[in-house]
């Protein structure tokens, strides 16, 4: 698999964090957002909080406040429309709350460490992008590294002009890892914004279903839900990711090495990211 002598080979994988390599189901940021808005008298549904997951946290708050239902709830609670100052205050509350809870959601998802070891043994470097701030990553990273997940690059939105879906965090990863062109890198994530980010950067994109924000299920839910219901929910997530332009969609993060092999086979015959993604995504 992924022989080093290949001239057209994947040289790096850029992972998302919550919902991809840690925090199965992407619950920490969801609960954090809901609680932050509640602190300002505004109820936000879990579905609404999940809708734009993957954005930088301040951008996510702004996006939620742009929803008519959320803005109306804010106006009812405060007698006025929201302002940038309100976004700052909600973000400050969110960051404080997340900093106190992220420690419980920082352990790598089962199988991640062994899977990443296989990639690095094959000469593939590991980077990462996130919607979390640097102080949040300062909580998560030591715990993940202690458990064996050690990315060689960790880029947060504050270190680039803008966060997702812009490509700048991916470019910064490529710069730090010393890799180009961008079609030698794969972006892996659990949200539609992850796919947008990778496509905007000219990278191959892989969506992950189980553990994802889009599926929104805990490991216990996945294990106990009736198979017919789980299959339907996973099919819906796959369709969303393929429609968004993912080159490949995999069930579990541990399936990534096989996905990379498929991408390398496409590269060998002149394939490019975003070309024929519907066919690749069914592989």
What CA–CA distance (Å, rounded) separates 278 from 265? Answer: 16
Long-range contacts of 179-183, Cβ-Cβ distance < 8 Å, separation of 24 or more: 179/11, 179/12, 179/125, 182/273, 183/267, 183/272, 183/273
Rg (CA), the chain: 19
Catalytic residue among 23, 43, 47, 57: 57
Q: Is 18 annotated as a binding residue?
A: yes
Alpha-carbon distance values, 42 to 35, 37, 71, 219 (Å)? 9, 5, 9, 29
Three-class DSSP category at 161? coil
What CA–CA distance (Å, rounded) separates 14 from 183? Answer: 12
Q: Is 247 annotated as a binding residue?
A: no
Does the annotation count 43 as an active-site position?
no
User: Residue 126's closest CA among 135, 134, 117?
Assistant: 117
190, 208 contact by CB (below 8 A): yes
Q: Is 190 annotated as a binding residue?
A: yes
Does the annotation count 16 as an active-site position?
yes
Tell me the three-class secondary structure of 77-137, residue by residue.
HHCCCCCHHHHHHHHHHHHHHHHHHHHHHCCECCCHHHHHHHHHHCCCEEEECCCCCHHHH
User: Residue 112's closest CA among 16, 22, 229, 18?
Assistant: 22
Catalytic residue among 16, 23, 194, 196: 16
CB atoms within 10 A of CB 107: 18
What CA–CA distance (Å, rounded) separates 194 from 250? Answer: 14
Annotated binding residues: 16, 18, 190
Give the residue numbers marked as catalytic: 16, 57
Annotated binding site for Mg(2+): 16, 18, 190
């Amino acid at each position: 698999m992924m022989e080093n002598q290949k001239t057209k080979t994947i040289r790096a994988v850029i992972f998302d964090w919550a919902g991809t390599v840690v925090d199965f189901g992407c619950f920490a940021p969801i609960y954090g957002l809901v609680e932050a808005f509640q602190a300002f008298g505004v109820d936000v549904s879990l579905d609404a909080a999940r809708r734009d997951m993957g954005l930088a946290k301040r951008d996510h708050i702004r996006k939620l406040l742009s929803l008519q239902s959320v803005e109306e709830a804010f106006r009812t609670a405060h007698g006025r429309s929201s302002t940038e100052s309100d976004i700052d205050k909600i973000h400050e509350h969110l960051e404080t709350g997340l900093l106190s809870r992220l420690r419980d959601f920082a352990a790598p998802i089962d199988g991640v460490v062994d899977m990443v070891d296989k990639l690095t043994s094959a000469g593939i470097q590991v980077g990462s992008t996130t919607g979390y701030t640097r102080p949040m990553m300062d909580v998560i990273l030591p715990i993940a590294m202690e458990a064996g997940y050690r990315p060689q690059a960790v880029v947060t939105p504050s270190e680039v002009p803008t966060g997702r879906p812009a490509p700048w965090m991916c470019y910064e990863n490529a710069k730090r890892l010393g890799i180009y062109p961008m079609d030698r890198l794969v972006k892996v994530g659990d949200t539609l914004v992850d796919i947008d980010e990778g496509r905007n950067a000219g990278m191959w994109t892989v969506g992950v279903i189980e553990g994802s924000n889009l599926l929104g299920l805990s490991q216990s839910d996945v294990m106990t839900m009736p198979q017919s219901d789980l299959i339907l929910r996973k099919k819906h997530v796959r369709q969303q990711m393929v429609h968004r332009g993912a080159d490949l969609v995999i069930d579990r993060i541990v399936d990534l090495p096989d996905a990379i092999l498929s991408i390398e086979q496409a590269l060998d015959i002149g394939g490019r990211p975003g070309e024929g993604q519907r066919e690749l995504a069914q592989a």
